[in-house]
Structure 1
Amino acid sequence: MSGVIVTGPPKADPKDVDALAGFGVATVGEAMGRTGLLGPGIRPIQQGVRVAGTAVTVLGRPGDNLMIHAAVEQCGEGDFLVVTTTSPCTDGLFGELFAMALHRRGVRGLVIDAGVRDTQELRETGFPVWSRAVCAQGTVKATGGSVNVPVVIDGQVIHAGDVILADDDGVAVVPRRRARATAEAAAAREAKEAATRAAFLDGQLGLDRYGLRETLARLGVTYRSYEDYAAEEVGS
């Protein structure tokens, strides 16, 4: 497998990245029309961390982490390493030593559609990771691949320089050119949710706030007292 290492790709504006970091993955996914989510299989190895950065992408071979080594050189302040393989892999491609190297370069985290190991050490050093698997199985460094090319995880295309946002709920990708508009849409959605939260605390029901009683009626859902319902069941 030959490959290419693309240097100096355009990146989302750091101000837009930082703005997106203020919102949860769920909020951003809704703000983008329920798109951009990498799916439930990519999970955090830690809890209570939310971080955003610009994607440096890696496409390698299963069981081989050579291209992660190549990608470290392309990473810088504010980046988020995104790794996938040409076919499914759960081997531990990434561990503590990689995290130390990336932390030194100002990288904010890792998303990997494969396995990681040294998870206790990763948590202790505070380097956040979202992975497909946790596995002690090691790897080789023998096969070419690519860095900063488009990659696909759970049907979502990720380009170098796109925004990666990750928290306890999972991971979302925001296309570079949509970062500012998405941050604005997320802010509007959060303001709406704040108003709804206040209404719920005041006792309002979702049935009324969202107009769902009309929806129930349209779908033919009816209300019956227990006595009437029990009588109907006996009669049937």
Structure 2
Amino acid sequence: MKPVVVTGTPRAELDTVDALAGHGVATAHEAMDRTGYLGTALRPIQPGLRIGGTAVTALCWPGDNLMIHAAVEQCRPGDILVVTTTSPCTDGLFGELLATALRVRGVRGLITETGVRDVAELRALDFPVWSAAISAQGTVKATAGAVNVPITVGGQVVRPGDAILADDDGVLCVPRAEVARVLAAARARVAKEEAARQAFLAGELGLDRYDLRSTLERLGVRYLTAEQYAKETG
């Protein structure tokens, strides 16, 4: 890893990111052909929040949050800080003081594969955080890493300026060049789901709406009365 802080990185158009975030992670994930999900390990420390923004990335060494401090300077309104380490680490790399610094700069939240601490204070600040762990274990500030370089989170590549969406369903990364296309696909999906919702409210079954009866037949699923089943299995 080359120790570097990259400045002036281009971002996805924030208005488009905001519109996409409004549809939620699950819908956007489906609209992206089920790609970009950062995995089940990242969970919110406070439920019920939904955020979207543009990624500033920080690559740290385990037990060392030096590069998070360097990343704060590169953040601007609408950003979301995304943090990982060079090898697995659940130490509390982030807490209330760093959240205060980020809020002043208009940062919308933190996504980290590490741990966080000061959880009560973070909740009181209403600063959104998705993390892999909660840990009181502190850190040092001694080892150079990198800021605004591509990183891997949950097996997915996150590049600076990509769109980040997060809610109770998890975290999604949408490549910067794909945001407008994914938004259009998400809107189409929402319209399709609303039509299905109305049909279900009217009593229609998914088996009929999605032509699943033919699928069951193709898979050899048989319909038997209770008496027939008892006779065949008795």
Same fold flag (TM > 0.5):
yes
- Secondary structure at the residue paired with 2:204? coil
State the TM-score, normalized to the length of structure 1: 0.98
Q: Where does residue 4 of structure 2 map in the other structure?
A: 4
Which AA in structure 1 matches 2:73? E
State whether structure 2 residue 218 is matched by structure 1 residue 199: no
1:113-164 Cα deviation digits (max 9, x unpaired)? 1100111111111100000111110000000000000000111101000000
Write out aligned runs for 1:24-173 (5 A): 24-173=24-173
CA RMSD, aligned part only?
0.8
CA apart distance, 1:2: 5.0
Alignment partner of 2:4: what SS?
Answer: coil
* Code of the aligned partner of 2:5: I
Instruction: Name the CA distance, whole Å, in 1 between partners of 2:109 and 2:85.
Output: 18
> Is 1:218 aligned to residue 221 of structure 2?
no
CA distance in 1, matches of 2:200, 2:187: 20
Post-superposition shift, 1:22? 1.0
Q: CA deviation at 1:198?
A: 1.1
Structure 2 counterpart of 1:15: 15
Alignment match, 1:178: 178
Matched residue of 2:214: which SS?
helix
Q: CA deviation at 1:82?
A: 0.2
The residue type paired with residue 8 of structure 1 is: G
Kindly provide the amino acid, as one letter, of the partner of residue 175 in structure 2.
P
What secondary structure, in the 3-state scheme, does the structure 2 residue paired with 1:33 have? coil
2: CA distance, partners of 1:153 / 1:2: 18
Listed one character per residue, the Cα deviations across residues 174-221 of structure 1 (whole Å, up to 9, x for unaligned) are 000001111111111011111111111111111111111100000000
For 1:109 and 1:209, how far apart are their aligned partners in 2? 40
Look up the SS of the partner of 1:84 in the other structure: strand
What are the Cα deviations for residues 44-102 of structure 1, in whole angstroms up to 9, with x where unaligned? 11111100000000001000000000000000100000000000000000000111000
Give the TM-score normalised by the residue count of structure 2.
0.98
* Superimposed CA distance per residue, residues 15-68 of structure 1 (whole angstroms, 9 cap, x where no aligned partner): 211111211100000000000100111111111110000000000100000000
Matched letter for residue 166 of structure 1: A
% same residue:
65
Task: Report the secondary structure of 1:149's partner residue.
Answer: coil
Amino acid at match of 2:150: P
Could you tell me how far apart the structure 2 residues matched to 1:35 and 1:185 are?
13
Task: For residue 68 of structure 1, give the secondary structure of its aligned residue in structure 2.
Answer: helix
SS of alignment partner, residue 40 of structure 2: coil
Distance in 2 (CA, whole Å) between partners of 1:18 and 1:25 is 12
